[in-house]
Amino acid sequence: MDLMREKTEAEKVKVIEAKDLVVSYGNRTALQGVSVSAVEGAVLGLLGPNGAGKSTFVRACLGLLCPAAGTIRVLGLDPVAHGERVRRRIGFVLEKTGLSEALDCRSNLRFHGEMYRVEPGRLRARIDELLERFGLADRARDPVASLSKGLKQRLALARALLHRPKLILLDEPTSGLDPAAAREVRGLIASVVRDDATTVLLTTHNMVEAERLCDTVVILCQGRVVRQLDARELTGVAGVRVRCRPMSPARAEAIVQLTGAAELHQTEKVTEFVFDPATEPEEARRAVADGGGDVLEVVRGAGGLEEAYLSATGRSGP
C-alpha cells in the first residue's frame, strides 16, 4: 500500500518547477539559484523575512520578471514566453487585491469573469455559487469600499477561483487581518485545496499558517533556499538537535558516519545534526564535538517549522 501511494505521488504533474532560478533587479539579485516545485493538488509555502524573495518568486511565476539564469515552468509553460496563456490558467491574490472599490461585489466578479472569457451562460451561476460559498451573498450589491479588509480578502479569493484555475498564487493572503478574519481566510484556502483539488503557492510570514496549510514549506533568506520541509517535518519530528557553526559537507558527513546521527541539515549559517529522541543531549553534544564540530547549542524537542526557521535563518522569527 505504501509503495502504491509513493508511486502515485511521484507521478503527479509538477504545476510549478523552478531550477537554479536567478532573478535580478538591476544590480541586485533577488533570487539566487532557487530550485523548488509544487505538484498538482498540493500547497507549497514560501516562508521568509522581508526581502527574502517570496514576492519576486510569485512575480516570476506570473511571467512579470525575466530570469537572469535558470528556468521556471508553470503548468508546463515558460511564463515569460507564454505569459497570457499562463495567466489565463491561474488565479492570484497579491498584496494589493486590485478590486474596484467603486463597484459592488457581484460586478467585480462579473468583470473578472468577462475578462477571463467565462461563458456568459455559466458566469451568473458561478458568481452566485462563489458569493454563497465565501459568505458574501448578502453583501453582493454592496460596494467594495464598504467592506472590511477580511471581507475584501474573501472576495479576492472568490475572484481568483472564478475561472476554475489549476493554480492559485497567494501573496501574504492574511497580512493585516485580525486573528478571527485570518482564521476564516485560512479555512477558505483549505477548502479550496480540499474541494477543488487546486494547487496553491502561498507566501507568508506566519509560521502557524504555513504549518496548517502547507504540504511543503521552502524557507528563503536573502534570495536563497536555506531549508525545505515536507509534511512529516512540519508536524515536528522529535529528536535531539545539535547545532554547530558552518562546516564543509565532507566534514558534516564524516560526523554523521562517526556519530550515527539520524538527519543532517546544512545552511550557510548553521549545521544541524538530529539524533534519536532516546539519545542523551550531553552524549550527542560530546559525540559531535569529538568529531570536530564547533557546537553552538543542543535542543531537545519536536522541532518543526519554528525550530527549522531559527536554525536556517538565525532569526527569532519572520
Mean pLDDT across 84-108: 91
Which has the closest alpha carbon to 16: 180, 218, 211?
A: 218
Assigned CATH topology for domain 237-301: Alpha-Beta Plaits (3.30.70)
* Of 201, 216, 225, nearest in space to 20 by CA: 225
Residue-wise pLDDT for 21-78, tens only, equals 999 998 899 999 999 999 998 999 999 888 899 999 999 999 999 999 999 999 999 9
Each residue's pLDDT tens digit, 157-202? 999 999 999 999 998 888 888 888 888 888 889 888 888 888 999 9
pTM exceeds cut of 0.85: no
DSSP string, 42-63: -EEEEE--TTSSHHHHHHHHTT
Residue 300, pLDDT above cutoff 60 = yes
Which positions ≥6 away from 279 have C-beta within 8 Å? 240
Burial class (CB in 10 A: 0-12, 13-18, 19+), 212: middle
CATH superfamily, domain at 14-232? P-loop containing nucleotide triphosphate hydrolases (3.40.50.300)
Structure confidence at residue 9 as a pLDDT band (50, 70, 90) = low
Can you give the three-state secondary structure of 88-108, one letter per residue? HCEEEECCCCCCCCCCEHHHH
Q: Is-contact 255 293, C-beta < 8 A? A: yes
Q: Where in the sequence of the chain do the CATH 3.40.50.300 domains occur?
A: 14-232
CATH 3.30.70.980 domain extents, the chain: 237-301
Find, among 273, 265, 172, the residue nearest to 227 by Cα.
265
- Nearest one of 150, 125, 113, 145 to 135, comparing CA atoms: 150
* Arithmetic mean of pLDDT, 223-238: 75
167-171 and 90-93 as β-strands: parallel, antiparallel, unpaired? parallel
Average pLDDT of the segment spanning 7-12: 56
In this prediction, residue 232 carries a pLDDT of 63
Distance, CA of 81 to CA of 224 (rounded, Å): 25
In degrees, rounded to 5, the angle at the alpha carbon of residue 75 between the alpha carbons of residues 21 and 208 is 70
User: What integer pLDDT is reported at residue 303 of this predicted model?
Assistant: 59
